[in-house]
């Protein structure tokens, strides 16, 4: 099968939706003439023009709110945040307006917007550009949170997100944009809310999302080779909706669970998953659930320290071996 990079897969998914539906527009800072700060939208402005691919001023509250308003009438804007850390500048629009408009109107108004961009640390840019807000956003009813780990999932999920009638906050990873993966030529969708078992095993379940899935898969290979452990890796793909059954099914098989995430530990996604497992699969567990998160400090700038602050393969292997 042909291989595409994660960014090419995203671009192909968005391009297909642009061509399929005249209501799809892409907006954001530097998405058009500059070809995207991370080149995700490269070439799209030249191909689709000003109306479909629009450069905005640096004005997140303004243009994200504008997209939300336009989506209420049926446009399907795909808004790029250059970094998901900039969501906080548009927080009132993203949290107050997009999440609650359907509810507060008694179901009369929909908000089919996608807000996408990289949400990760590990790039040596310090605390203001390294936030992972998937836990905070998933805390808000009315919103969906998607975190693809592979090129295949990135394309299939962005297409589903654009077609979704509710706000989908789509979190990518700058360290994954260049990663190659198999992407079929023919059209496909990946449903939002369905986890994917990326590796099967019988001794331990690692539950993860985003780039940590890739790290977990590498750790699983090492654990197999060096410790004869068969690790199952469950990729959540979306945090909300959460595929609870996929998590429980795997844990009931392996009887051990390790949750790996780049989120900070306090009220992180792993806290929710741990609660889910202990409340619904407690009797299936042979050992306490373990969590591995970023170390609980603002994202540090200094490169060698940042590399150990967020999960890496070594930390995952050690955590896996420490599951009782």
Partner 1 sequence: MFKMPTLDVKTKDTKKSADVAVVNSVHANAPVNKALKSEDKIRLLRDMIRIRRFEERSMKSYAQENKIGGFLHLYIGQEAVAVGSISVCGKHDHVITTYRDHGHALAVGMGMDECMAELYGKATGCSKGKGGSMHFFAPDKNFWGGHGIVGGQTPLGLGLAYYQKYKGLKGSCLCYLGDGAVNQGAFHESLNLASLWSIPVIYIIENNGYSMGTSEARSSAFRESLAKRAEGYDMDWDVCMGHDIYEVRAKIKEALDRAHEDSRPTLLEIDTYRYEGHSVADANRKKYRSPEEIENYKQTKDPIQLFKKRLISEGVLTEEAYEVIDQEAKAEANASAAFADASPWPAPESMMEDIYWEVDHGRTSQGTLFFNDEE
> Nearest Cα to 14, choosing from 116, 130, 101?
116
Catalytic residue status for 60: yes
- Closest approach, Cβ 34 to partner 1, in A, equals 17
Measured from the CB atom, is 33 or 96 closer to partner 1? Answer: 96
Could you tell me if 173 and 132 are in contact, meaning their C-beta atoms sit under 8 angstroms apart?
A: no
Could you tell me if 251 and 160 are in contact, meaning their C-beta atoms sit under 8 angstroms apart?
A: no
- Closest approach, Cβ 51 to partner 1, in A, equals 7
Output the six-digit token pair for 99: 């999440």
- Separation CA 167–CA 28 (nearest Å): 17
- Separation CA 230–CA 63 (nearest Å): 48
Site residues (vs partner 1, CB under 8 A)? 25, 51, 56-57, 59, 61-75, 92-93, 96-97, 101-110, 141-142, 144, 164-166, 191-195, 238, 240-245, 272, 279
- Per the residue annotation, which of 29, 60, 80, 306 is the catalytic one? 60
- Per the residue annotation, which of 29, 129, 131, 209 is the catalytic one? 129
- Separation CA 311–CA 294 (nearest Å): 6
Of the chain, the end-to-end C-alpha distance in Å amounts to: 40
Output the six-digit token pair for 34: 């500059």
Measured from the CB atom, is 27 or 310 closer to partner 1? Answer: 27
Measured from the CB atom, is 42 or 166 closer to partner 1? Answer: 166
Could you tell me if 313 and 220 are in contact, meaning their C-beta atoms sit under 8 angstroms apart?
A: no
Catalytic residue status for 209: no
Measured from the CB atom, is 223 or 242 closer to partner 1? Answer: 242
Residues 6 or more apart whose CB falls under 8 angstroms from that of 263 comprise 132, 134, 135, 269, 270, 293, 294
- Closest approach, Cβ 203 to partner 1, in A, equals 26
Measured from the CB atom, is 190 or 223 closer to partner 1? Answer: 190
Residues tagged active-site:
60, 129
């Amino acid at each position: 099968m042909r291989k595409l990079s994660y960014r090419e897969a995203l671009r192909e998914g968005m391009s297909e939706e642009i061509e399929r539906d005249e209501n799809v527009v892409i907006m954001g800072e530097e998405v058009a003439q500059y070809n995207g700060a991370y080149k995700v939208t490269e070439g799209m402005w030249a191909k689709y023009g000003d109306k479909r691919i629009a450069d905005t001023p640096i004005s997140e509250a303004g243009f994200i709110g504008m997209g939300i308003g336009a989506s209420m009438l049926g446009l399907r804007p795909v808004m790029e945040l250059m970094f998901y850390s900039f969501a906080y500048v548009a927080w009132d629009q993203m949290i107050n307006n997009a999440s609650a408009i359907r509810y507060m109107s008694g179901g009369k108004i929909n908000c089919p917007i996608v807000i996408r961009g990289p949400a990760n640390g590990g790039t040596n840019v310090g605390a203001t550009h390294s936030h992972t807000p998937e836990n905070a956003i998933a805390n808000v009813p009315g919103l969906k949170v998607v975190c693809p780990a592979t090129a295949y999932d990135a394309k299939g999920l962005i297409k589903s997100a654009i077609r979704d009638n509710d706000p989908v906050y789509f979190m990518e990873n700058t360290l994954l944009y260049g990663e190659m993966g198999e992407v079929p030529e023919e059209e496909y969708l990946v449903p939002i809310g369905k986890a994917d078992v990326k590796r099967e095993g019988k001794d331990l379940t690692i539950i993860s999302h985003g780039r940590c899935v890739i790290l977990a898969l590498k750790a699983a290979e090492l654990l197999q080779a060096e410790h004869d452990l068969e690790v199952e890796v469950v990729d959540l793909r979306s945090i909300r909706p959460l595929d609870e059954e996929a998590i429980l099914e795997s844990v009931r098989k392996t009887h051990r669970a390790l949750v790996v995430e780049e989120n900070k530990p306090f009220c992180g996604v792993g806290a929710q998953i741990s609660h889910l497992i202990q409340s619904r699969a407690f009797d299936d567990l042979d050992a306490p659930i373990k969590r591995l998160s970023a170390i609980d400090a603002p994202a540090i700038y200094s490169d060698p320290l940042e590399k150990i602050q967020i999960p890496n393969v070594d930390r995952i292997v050690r955590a896996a071996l420490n599951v009782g």
